[in-house]
Amino acid sequence: HAGRRVSGLSFIGIAPVADDVDRLTVPGGFTYAPIIRWGDPVLKGAPMFDPEHQSAEAQSMQFGYNNDYTDIIVTDKHGKKALLVCNHEYTNESIMFPPTMDPTEAIRTAWAAHGMSVVELTRPARGERWTYRRGGRLNRRITLDTPFAVDGPAAGSPLLRTKEDPTGRTVRGTMNNCSGGTTPWGTVLSGEENFNQYFKAEGTSKQEKRYGLSPTQDTRGWSKVDPRWDARSADFRNEPNRFGWIVEIDPMDPTSTPVKHTAMGRFKHEGANVIVADDGRVVAYMGDDERFDYIYKFVSRRRYDARPGNAARQHNLRLLSEGDLYVAQFTGDGMEDKVNDGSGEWIALTQGGRSMVNGFTLEEVLVYTRLAADAAVGSNGKGPTKMDRPEDVQPNLVTGRIYAACTNNSDRGKEGKAGTDEANPRPLNKDGHIVEITEVGGDHTGRRFTWDLVLICGDPKTAGTYFGGYTGPVAPISCPDNVAFDSRGDLWIATDGMPSSLKYNDGLFHVELGGPERGRVTQFLAVPAEAETCGPVIHDRDGSVFVAVQHPGEDGTWADQHSFFPDYVKQSGRGRFAGPRPTVVQVTRIG
């Protein structure tokens, strides 16, 4: 993996980094700098981060916790202005807050640390480092108190009504925002993932069970401060139904109301990534990150309008409000060819504004998408394929192929659970794999595809790993989570889970997809102790890579911190924190 220059960035791969190293490791000739950290002031008037005296009011104006999906959207033709858009997936109260903090204020502060941030960036010239603008005009914090409009066919449904919102059309906030995608019309999509963990619920109905709702998983105890987190009460029975959506925000307009798109279905959305089909309709690919759950796609009814101007923009902002929803079935062609591959079908769940699933209304398909998918049947009489935790499912805009990261599945093949199949070939899959999907005829709106596993991850010395047929040395890689592509269409993979599977820190990896070195994996960076690698954003033409370092030192406590990234201070004080701060980082070439 070392000793050779790869990709447009021309770097020499790093060796794997042991899982006790609390350092961000970059290749020789590169350096890194934080752009923005948890607690940094974002809005005008926001106070400096004061770790010993945090408050909900301060946090609602500061950068949130656990940065996950990140994009750097360049907004001027000189390349000197950009918007950083970032998800804040979840909070880790035991390392964030001093034990002396008022418990109610700590809960409210956690609500403010969730959501998303939009932050203006500037730099003196192309290729230089970005700095963020405190109080920038477009800066925005979206939290668990920001109103969202519900749109699409399930808006207003009785399944979405609560005492607080009898219309079923306005939801307070977004949460557990994991991955996402930036659309061709400049908005950002974000997936509401493990929403169940915030609710107390009966957990007795088949719907609540299928979404992991129970009386015991709300370890944060939020219902003590706001009754909407207690779904056992008739008043808020439907509050969990108001999360688990793809949300869309317009980072160019800080006054715009963000939207929850019911047409795209409700599950533990990892994210959504859009490509414009040849006929102009837009297609979003999506994963449901749960063991034995599915891969989906959404095809818009209307066509993308590429013309400049506000009329086209207003049209495009409605594209994800109406369309057809499909779930993927993967069929293997057998292992006689020694390759994990085959064909597949997109099984319709909704089409033309109608339910395509027996026994489900349109609203039920969209609100209880997992159960509808369980009941859906393809043309071969079989249902969709239970995958090994599909995370990012993202089209490569250079080749049109789609790449799905199946991160791992410790239950595959266990007694009472689904066994292996050609698309999920390993029992107790601890390392994950990458599915490459090719739509038949290149038609993203179509019903048929072919597929293969381009990577079966792990330590390359381990039996059962596969690196696209490449037989030279490759870097160990495990638990693929986020994927990205550079300007040449090379694949980049960010991982989450290598400390437990391989005893190495998580990292960012480059993968060749074509030519004789297809499947060659080279490690670009490693994140500090107990962190996962998020983002990533590859601006190879600009000589930059961005990663969001999420949950460094996640297993520590306030008194026993496991990471001090990125400031490495040993004594908390005004603006300084003797513990880890999730941080968005820019990696640049030296000189």
Q: Which residues contact ligand FEO (rule: CB under 6 A)? A: 89, 178, 193, 270, 289, 391, 481
Per partner kind, with CB cut-offs from 5 to 8 A, the member of ligand FEO, Ca ion, none near residue 89 is ligand FEO
For Ca ion, the closer of residues 6 and 453 by Cβ is 453
Helices (H), 253-375: 310-316, 362-367, 369-375
Q: Provide the minimum distance between the beta carbon of 193 and ligand FEO in the complex, in angstroms, as a whole number.
A: 5
Tokens of 508: 């960012």
Per partner kind, with CB cut-offs from 5 to 8 A, the member of Ca ion, ligand FEO, none near residue 333 is Ca ion
For ligand FEO, the closer of residues 267 and 577 by Cβ is 267
| x/- track of binding to Ca ion for residues 86-125 (CB under 5 A) | ----------------------------------------
Q: Is the peptide bond before 215 cis (omega within 30 degrees of 0)?
A: no
Measured between alpha carbons, how far is 392 from 376 in angstroms, rounded to an integer? Answer: 23
Contacts of 448 (CB under 8 A, 6+ apart): 343, 344, 345, 346, 439, 440
Residue 548, CA distances (Å) to 53, 66, 427, 494, 507 in order: 25, 8, 31, 10, 11
Per partner kind, with CB cut-offs from 5 to 8 A, the member of ligand FEO, Ca ion, none near residue 165 is none
Tokens of 212: 């992991």
Per partner kind, with CB cut-offs from 5 to 8 A, the member of ligand FEO, Ca ion, none near residue 193 is ligand FEO
Measured between alpha carbons, how far is 379 from 402 in angstroms, rounded to an integer? Answer: 23
For Ca ion, the closer of residues 179 and 300 by Cβ is 179
Q: Provide the minimum distance between the beta carbon of 266 and ligand FEO in the complex, in angstroms, as a whole number.
A: 16
Per partner kind, with CB cut-offs from 5 to 8 A, the member of ligand FEO, Ca ion, none near residue 192 is none
Q: Provide the minimum distance between the beta carbon of 89 and ligand FEO in the complex, in angstroms, as a whole number.
A: 6
Measured between alpha carbons, how far is 537 from 179 in angstroms, rounded to an integer? Answer: 12
Tell me which amino acid residue 314 is.
Answer: Q
Q: Provide the minimum distance between the beta carbon of 329 and ligand FEO in the complex, in angstroms, as a whole number.
A: 22
Q: Look at residue 342 and give its three-state secondary structure.
A: strand
Per partner kind, with CB cut-offs from 5 to 8 A, the member of ligand FEO, Ca ion, none near residue 337 is Ca ion
Please compute, for residue 421, the number of CA atoms within 13 A of its CA located in the half-sphere on the CB side.
Answer: 17
The interface with Ca ion within residues 380-409 (CB under 5 A) comprises 391
Q: Provide the minimum distance between the beta carbon of 425 and ligand FEO in the complex, in angstroms, as a whole number.
A: 21
Figure out which of the listed residues 76, 219, 309, 337 binds Ca ion, where binding follows CB under 5 A: 337
Per partner kind, with CB cut-offs from 5 to 8 A, the member of Ca ion, ligand FEO, none near residue 415 is none
Return the bridge partners of 87, or none: 116
For Ca ion, the closer of residues 21 and 339 by Cβ is 339
Question: Dihedral (C-alpha) 59, 63, 65, 69: value to the nearest 10 degrees?
Answer: 150
Residue 534, CA distances (Å) to 334, 392, 473 in order: 35, 11, 25
The answer to whether 333 contacts Ca ion (rule: CB under 5 A) is: yes
Q: Provide the minimum distance between the beta carbon of 426 and Ca ion in the complex, in angstroms, as a whole number.
A: 15
By the criterion CB under 5 A, which residues form the site for Ca ion?
A: 178-179, 333, 337, 339, 341, 391, 481, 496
